[in-house]
Amino acid sequence: MGAGVAGLASAIVLSKLGWRVALLERRERLKGEDLGMILWASGVRALRALGIDATLDVAGTPVDHFEIRNEERLSSSFSGAHLGADDSTPSVMIHNAMLYEALVSRLSDSVEVYPATQVDRIDLVDLAAGDASRRWDADLVIAADGIDSPTRPLIAPGAPTVDAGVVVFRGIIPAHRAPERVADAVEIYGPDRRRFGYGDLGNAGACWWATVPGGMRPESPQIQHELINRWFADWPAPVGRFIAATRPSELTQQPVRYVWPLPTRLHQSVGNGGTVLMGDAAHGVAPILAQGASLALEDAVTLGWALRRSPESIPDALASYDRARAPRIKRVARISRRVHTIASGGRGVTKSLLRAVPDSWVQNQAASLADWQPPN
Ligand SMILES: Cc1cc2nc3c(=O)[nH]c(=O)nc-3n(C[C@H](O)[C@H](O)[C@H](O)COP(=O)(O)OP(=O)(O)OC[C@H]3O[C@@H](n4cnc5c(N)ncnc54)[C@H](O)[C@@H]3O)c2cc1C
């Protein structure tokens, strides 16, 4: 259920193991968004395990120089290269639509895709999912239906979605109009819970993201563009240049939500089959540390490992999957939530923290979050 990053990656993994997969997606087309995003080294390793090279196949731009600033000064700067495990895996800025294309291109003939299929019936006893007109019986139901997954409360009640109280506007600018960047990726923490970040997408141009307090804005893209201009008017260069170079049609906005507390379990076994939660459906994390897509890819790769390990028993595989994923998910979700809470604190809190923490601490935190290797 769901052909986002988690669903597509799971379908690739299962088909490689020789399964027949029905991929049910409510959208009419399998395509990504016109957005830039960071994929940390952990996600790049997970992609590689799926047979996809983040630099060659997704045209990822290595983040060799990442900066965290406040409006007045640089607070810390570190390299996103070689984060975590002792290998040469880079962290990259990527175009979301290119990531989707790479994943979709790896779907084999054993994956039947059903677009425009909104699952509204899930049977966790007889293991089936369906919409108004069809029902698909399965040995394994993968709920990869995003943060609002209706399957999560059925498997693990008490893991609601929390509104983070901020909204993120994102812009993407083609290369010929993109302003000059001072680093591969930058995040600037300002007053009133506002943040502005930008990144280099190589030939695909540049992208930026602006976090502001409040809910989704109902105004037209033109008015939203004017509002963003006003909110960030006195911010240091090149913030204004990024906003000015973006056309209202190149803007999107997304609410920020996360799952908290986390589900106490990620799967439910029935007979020799079961249902499992993956990606944001299982653990939508506050996006402040840009970990969500990496976690979704890691989930899929770990499920493949668990099914290879217990080919005779899906329940055993799901139990191994749960055990392997729980500590990692807990850690990333806790840190993401903590950083989100600090960043939502008063101006003084964020400012003094940014001043107090040394570069080496930030680099170590980033390294420990990216420290994931495919299990073997
Ligand atoms: C502002 C913002 C910035 C972010 N930046 C980054 C970043 O830089 N790096 C990063 O790694 N992550 C980032 N993330 C997080 C990342 O986008 C998500 O974690 C990731 O996309 C989750 O993938 P998913 O497949 O689990 O869920 P989704 O992408 O939500 O996919 C779920 C799919 O299920 C489908 N679906 C839902 N319900 C049904 C149904 N009933 N029937 C059929 N289909 C259904 C949906 O249409 C969708 O295609 C960001 C998130 C936000 C909000």
Sign of CA dihedral 329, 331, 337, 339: negative
Is the shortest distance between the CB of 280 and ligand 1 below 6 Å? yes
DSSP class of residue 173 equals E
Any ligand 1 atom below 6 A from CB of 168: yes
Q: What is the pLDDT of residue 364?
A: 82
Domain 5-62+94-160+261-343: CATH class, spelled out: alpha beta
Which pLDDT value is given to residue 86? Answer: 66
Write the residue with the smallest CA distance to atom 15 of ligand 1. 292
Give pLDDT tens digits for 14-31. Answer: 999 999 999 999 999 999
Question: Which residue has the CA at smallest separation from atom 21 of ligand 1?
Answer: 293
Kindly report, residue by residue over 349-362, the tens digit of the pLDDT: 666 666 667 777 77
CA of 347 to the centre of ligand 1 (A): 30
Q: Is there a contact between 231 and 239 (Cβ–Cβ < 8 Å)?
A: no
Task: Say yes or no: CB of residue 7 within 6 Å of ligand 1.
Answer: yes
Cβ proximity of 281 and 145 under 8 Å:
yes
Q: Which residue's CA is the nearest one to ligand 1's atom 5?
A: 290
**Which atom from ligand 1 is nearest to the alpha carbon of 285?**
19
173 contacts 246 by C-beta, under 8 angstroms: yes
HEC per residue, 214-281: CCCCCCCHHHHHHHHHHHCCCCCCCHHHHHHHCCHHHEEEEEEEEECCCCCCCEEEECCEEEEECCHH
Which of 87, 83, 88, 114 lies closest to 21, judged by CA?
A: 114
In a mutational test of the pocket of ligand 1, which residue from 8, 25, 131 has the highest number of ligand atoms less than 8 Å from its CB? Answer: 25
Cis preceding-peptide flag for 238 (omega within 30 of 0): yes
Per-position pLDDT tens, the chain of length 376: 999 999 999 999 999 999 999 999 999 999 999 999 999 999 999 999 999 999 999 999 999 888 888 766 666 676 666 666 667 899 999 999 999 999 999 999 999 999 999 999 999 999 999 999 999 999 999 999 999 999 999 999 999 999 999 999 999 999 999 998 777 899 998 888 899 999 999 999 999 999 999 999 999 999 999 999 999 999 988 999 999 999 999 999 999 999 999 999 999 999 999 999 999 999 999 999 999 999 999 999 999 999 999 999 999 999 999 999 999 999 999 999 998 988 887 666 666 666 667 777 777 888 889 999 999 9
